[in-house]
Every structure is written in C-alpha cells, then in structure tokens.
C-alpha cells in the first residue's frame, strides 16, 4: 500500500499561496513617447496586472529624456529623428522585464512642433513620422502607432492625468464606504499646460455645457460621472513661439524682456522661420540683428500684451484672439514650462500676493545680465537663463490678461511638476484612454483596497508557513539521547 505523504498538503498550500502572491504582485507596463516641440521624452508606466479599474493605480516607473531637439527639427535628415529615440528605447528595454516586452504597448504622440511642421511642410512631417515609426517597430514592444495629437486631445489628456493622479475622478472608498459628495465638477481640477509651441487650458465649468463654441467641448463619462470639459490649445502661444511673436516687429532690437547688458547677434531666421511669425518677416537685406536687453518688467508686459488680440469676440466672453472661454472655476494645476520657469524664479508659492510676485519678477528683470550670469551660469543653460525674465512675464500676462485670472483667483493655481512621482502632462491620460483603464461606469467597490488585499494574502502566507513548520515539527522523528524504558 502506498504510504500517505504527510508533506503533500502543506507543500501544496505553500506553493499555491506563493503563486497567488506572485500573481497579485505581477506588473504590467506601457510606454508613451511625448514628441514635443523642444524635445522628446519617453515615459514608462506600470500598474498591477490584476487591474480592478480603481484610480491611482498606474504610476510612472521611468522617464528618459531624448538627447537633442524635438523630432520636428529633423526635416533635413528625417532618419535622424528615428535614430534620436534609440537610446531611450534601449533604456526602456532594460527597465521592463524581457518576458513582458511583447505585451508592452508602445505609443508615440507628437504635439505642437509637428503641428507647425505639418502646416509648413506636410510631406516633411510625413517623412519624420515614417522614420520614427521605423525605429519604434524595430523594438520588441507592442507598437501601437505614432500620431499627431490634436490640440484638444493634448489639453483633455493633460486634464485627465492631473485628475487621475489626484484621485479626483472616482469615488473615494473610506473604510469600505463609498464617499461620493465631492466628485464630479465640484472637485475636478483645471489643467494649464505651457509647452514650447502651444499652450493648453482645460477645466470644467458649471456654466459650460458645450452649446456655445462646441469646438471647445470634450465630453467624458468616467467612473459614472459625466464631464463636459472646456479645452483650448493656442498654437504659437507656447513659450518659444510666443518669444518669436514678441520679438517680431519694430521692438526687436531693444528688448525689455531681456536683462540690461544682454547683447547677442542673432539670425533673423531664428526668429522668423516659423509659420507663427513668417508673415511678419521684415524686408531687410541683413541676415542678422543685435538683440539688446532693456530689463524692464512693465515695458516687457506691454510688449507681451501686444501679442494677444483682445479686440473682437463673437461669443458671450472670450480669453483672447476671439476664442471663447467660460468663467474660470475651481483649482488649477499649472505644469510643464509653467513649473520650470516659476520654480527657477522661486515664485511657485501662489499664496504670496500677486503684487509681491510681480515686484519680485520686476526686480529679477532689472538685474544686470552680468550679475545673473555670474550667479547662475554654471548651473543653468545660458539659453534658459537669458529667457526667464521674458518667460515669467509671459506666464503672468497669459494668466491674468489672457485667461482672466485675478489677484484673488491667482491663488487657486498650483504650480506642479509631479503628482505622486508621476509627471503632470498629457501622456498618462493618453495611455489610460487607449488601454481602456478608466471605465465609463463606477466599478463595484472591491471589499478590500489593493493594499489591504496584498496585506491579507501576505499574512495568510506567513500563517500557513508557521502552521506548516509546526506540522513538520510534530511529524519529525525525534532522536532522544535518553533510552526509553518501555
Ligand atoms: O529647465 C527648464 N527651464 C526653462 N525652460 C525649460 C526647462 N526645461 C524645458 N524648458 C522649456 O519649457 C518649454 C516647455 O517644455 P516642454 O518639454 O513641456 O515642451 P514641448 O513639449 O513643447 O517640447 C520649452 O520651451 C522648453 O525649452
């Protein structure tokens, strides 16, 4: 007769429990490349394999900044646009376990730099996309396409990212109870994104249902809530293109937005080779001009105001350039260049009165260039350093004059770079959408949160292990030194 194996049951149990833990902690990955106007970034996101559609579950695992400029700058040698991505894609291979490569979706989204190139030279933009696609297909990931994002998508996905990471989209589960009172429009946070070539504003307003200026409406149903988002992307109003707008025209030579003592010979082409300003190119024979700094905040504000058109509005209310905008509502997260610039200027604290913020910026603009250079030139690239006075003034003017924030509502803006270790930007929202990670209807709330679930399974595993050791101990042949007297 076959002897019963007393080890059989506990071993099976242990293996099963370890297996369950392994499944519970398995991770899925996704890669998104943000092909921006100034540069390309690669983001790797990760989330638990058993997705239960709760919010706050997808997080950024890795970020790689592609060396060099944005893909739209490679029109003369499109293959180099593809080659530029290789080192970050190699990093992605190293950061994702090899067995997961074939099932890791890989997306590339191009924004305003490529929108401008398409306007300027559509076949050149096609060539760049072809080159980029060729490189992406050469990697072992699940390639899902490289495409141009519409400005509206860029704005809307940025809004989704901010609200997802802030846990503002779903019902909050508190001790097993669903806590619903602060969701929907009341809790959603607006998104302000400032890139190099375009800028986006996206928010929900109780006074906007999409009937006025429907082009600005994006409707979502997320976790059982309907949102009609107002969003607009201003092409040419990212900070690099806005600088060209401000530089073009008669004030180009003595520029109040650059520090006194700043004196650089620049090519006209560096200002005018963009569809944003090409029609303003002066008819001069000279190829270069001298860019001199004046260092005057108030005059800089005036120059910047002149790049916005406030003269006509065919709607009930507008921001600028005749674009409809409903009344601002709620809190706003301002990211990308909003953060880079205000963080450098040490002006991210919006509880400081706006008057003080302006005074500090004015003092900074009035600082002579030699002094600014002496202080910062070892830490900050000179191009950025030269432009912070302009960029800070542009940001405040765009917000206050363009979008109609007031000294009271300014404090509703928070400058953000990351939320819970993930960068604020459109990429996460884009991936959540394409992987169907946010359902339209609220999922039944699970009896346990994910963390509690993992904790319970772990405690069970430890308990079973202890039981197993005890059983083993009781069954182990005892070798007593003392002879037993029977
Ligand atoms: O550290 C910084 N300081 C100042 N400006 C920066 C810094 N990093 C990036 N920028 C600039 O901020 C702008 C926005 O950058 P972002 O990468 O979001 O734009 P993009 O997607 O249009 O390339 C660009 O003009 C870029 O040159």
What's 222-236 look like in SS3? ECCEEEEEEEEEEEC
Q: Are 206 and 327 in contact (CB under 8 A)?
A: no
Expressed in angstroms and rounded, the spacing between residue 337 Cα and the centre of ligand 1 is 5
Give me the torsion for CA of 45, 48, 52, 54, rounded to 10°.
-50
Q: How far apart are alpha carbons 36 and 75 in whole angstroms?
A: 15
53: left (phi over 0), alpha (psi -120 to 50) or beta: left
Confidence at residue 196, expressed as pLDDT on a 0 to 100 scale? 98
3-state secondary structure of 152: helix
Q: Where are the CATH 3.30.420.150 domain residues in the chain?
A: 239-316+346-419
**Average pLDDT, whole number, for the chain?**
89
DSSP bridge pairs for 229: 204, 218
Closest atom of ligand 1 to 40 CA is: 23
Question: Residue 130, SS3?
Answer: helix
Atom index in ligand 1 nearest the CA of residue 239 equals 25
Is 198 annotated to bind ligand?
yes
Over residues 16-22, the mean pLDDT reads 58
Q: Which residues line ligand 1 (CB under 6 A)?
A: 36-39, 70, 111-112, 195-197, 238-240, 336-337, 340-341, 344, 384
| Portion of the chain with pLDDT greater than 70, in percent | 85
pLDDT-based confidence at residue 3 (cuts at 50, 70, 90): very low
- Name the range with the highest mean pLDDT among 20-34, 400-414, 433-447: 400-414
Alpha carbon nearest to ligand 1 atom 21, residue? 36
Tell me how many degrees the CA angle 75-77-81 measures, rounded to the nearest 5.
80
Compute, in angstroms, the gap from residue 110 CA to the centroid of ligand 1: 15
pLDDT computed for residue 90 by the predictor: 98
Integer Cα distance of 149 and 154 in angstroms? 6
The values of phi and psi at residue 214, to 5°, are -60, -20
Q: Where does CATH 3.30.420.40 sit in the chain?
A: 1-148+446-476
* Contact of 275 with 120, CB cutoff 8 Å: yes
Confidence of residue 55 (pLDDT cuts 50, 70, 90): low
* Cα-based distances in Å from 177 to 79, 174, 280, 383, 449: 55, 5, 61, 53, 11
Asked whether the predicted pLDDT for residue 183 surpasses 50, the reply is yes
Pocket probe mutation, ligand 1, options 195, 200, 237, max atoms within 8 Å of Cβ: 195
Q: Binding site annotation covers 402? A: no
Looking at residue 170, its pLDDT comes to: 73
Query: Span 239-247, mean pLDDT?
Result: 96
Q: Which two tokens stand for residue 158?
A: 């940025």
Which range (4-18, 149-163, 202-216) has the least confidence? Answer: 4-18
Residue nearest ligand 1's atom 2 by CA: 340
- Global pTM value: 0.87
List active site positions: 154
DSSP 8-state symbol, 402? I
CB contact at 8 A, 196 and 36: yes
Confirm or deny that 199 is annotated as ligand binding.
yes
pLDDT of residue 182: 40
- Cα(271) to centroid(ligand 1), Å: 17
Average pLDDT on 211-227 reads 92
Is 331 labelled a binding residue? Answer: no
What span, in angstroms and rounded, lies between the C-alpha atoms of 69 and 196?
11
Domain 1-148+446-476 belongs to what architecture? 2-Layer Sandwich (3.30)
The residue contributing the CA closest to ligand 1 atom 1 is 340
How many C-beta atoms lie closer than 10 Å to residue 254's C-beta? 13
CA 416 / ligand 1 centre spacing (Å): 14
Alpha helices, H only, 71-210: 78-83, 86-95, 112-120, 122-137, 151-165
Cα of 158 from ligand 1 centre, angstroms: 16
Band of residue 2 on the pLDDT scale cut at 50, 70, 90: very low
Report the pLDDT value the prediction gives residue 250, as an integer from 0 to 100.
58
Taking the CA atoms of 327, 423, 175 and 435 in sequence, report the sign of the dihedral they define: positive
Q: Which of 202, 235, 234 is nearest to 219 (CA)?
A: 202
To the nearest 10°, the Cα dihedral for 385, 387, 390, 393?
-40
CA separation for the pair 414, 107 (Å, rounded): 29
Task: State the complex-level ipTM.
Answer: 0.97
Structure tokens at 288: 């270069």
Architecture of domain 239-316+346-419: 2-Layer Sandwich (3.30)
Residue 43's pLDDT is what?
Answer: 98
User: In sequence order, which residues have a C-beta less than 8 Å from that of residue 336 and are 6 or more positions away?
Assistant: 193, 194, 195, 424, 425
């Amino acid at each position: 007769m076959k002897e019963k194996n007393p080890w059989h049951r506990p071993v099976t149990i242990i293996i099963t429990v370890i297996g369950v833990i392994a499944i519970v902690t398995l991770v899925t990955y996704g890669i998104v490349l943000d092909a921006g106007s100034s540069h390309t970034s690669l983001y790797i996101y990760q989330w638990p394999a058993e997705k239960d559609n709760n919010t706050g579950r997808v997080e950024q695992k890795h970020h790689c900044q592609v060396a060099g400029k944005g893909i739209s700058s490679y029109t003369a040698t499109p293959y180099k646009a593809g080659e530029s991505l290789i080192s970050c894609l190699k990093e992605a291979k190293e950061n994702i376990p090899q067995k997961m490569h074939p099932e890791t979706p890989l997306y590339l989204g191009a924004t305003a730099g490529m929108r401008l190139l398409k306007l300027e030279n559509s076949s050149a933009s096609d060539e760049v996309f072809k080159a980029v696609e060729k490189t992406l297909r050469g990697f072992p990931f699940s390639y899902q396409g490289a495409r141009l994002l519409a400005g509206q998508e860029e704005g809307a996905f940025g809004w989704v990212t901010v609200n997802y990471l802030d846990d503002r989209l779903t019902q909050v589960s508190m001790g097993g109870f669903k806590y619903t009172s602060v969701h929907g429009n009341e809790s959603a946070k607006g998104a302000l994104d400032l890139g190099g070539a375009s800028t986006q504003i996206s928010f929900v307003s109780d006074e906007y249902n999409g009937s006025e200026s429907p082009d600005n409406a994006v409707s979502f149903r997320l976790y059982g809530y309907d949102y009609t988002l107002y969003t607009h992307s201003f092409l040419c109003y990212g900070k690099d293109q806005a600088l060209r707008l401000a530089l073009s025209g008669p004030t180009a030579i003595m520029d109040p937005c650059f520090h006194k003592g700043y004196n650089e010979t620049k090519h006209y082409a560096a200002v005018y080779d963009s569809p944003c300003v090409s029609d303003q190119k002066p008819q001069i024979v000279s190829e270069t001009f001298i860019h001199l700094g004046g260092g005057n905040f108030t005059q800089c504000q005036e120059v910047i105001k002149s790049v916005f058109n406030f003269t006509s509005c065919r709607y009930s209310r507008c921001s600028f350039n005749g674009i409809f905008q409903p009344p601002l509502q709620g809190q706003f997260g301002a990211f990308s260049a909003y953060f880079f610039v205000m963080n450098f200027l040490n002006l991210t604290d919006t509880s400081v009165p706006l008057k003080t913020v302006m005074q500090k910026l004015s003092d900074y603009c009035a600082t002579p260039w030699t002094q600014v250079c002496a202080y910062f030139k070892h830490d900050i690239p000179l191009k950025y350093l030269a432009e912070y006075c302009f960029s800070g003034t542009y940001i405040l003017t765009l917000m206050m004059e363009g979008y109609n924030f007031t000294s009271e509502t300014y404090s509703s803006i928070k400058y953000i770079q990351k939320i819970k270790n993930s960068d604020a930007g459109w990429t996460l929202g884009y991936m959540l959408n394409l992987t169907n990670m946010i359902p339209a209807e609220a999922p039944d709330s699970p009896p346990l949160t994910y963390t509690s679930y993992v904790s319970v399974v772990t405690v069970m595993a430890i308990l079973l292990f202890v039981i197993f050791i005890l059983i083993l101990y009781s069954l182990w042949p005892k070798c007593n030194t003392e002879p037993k007297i029977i």
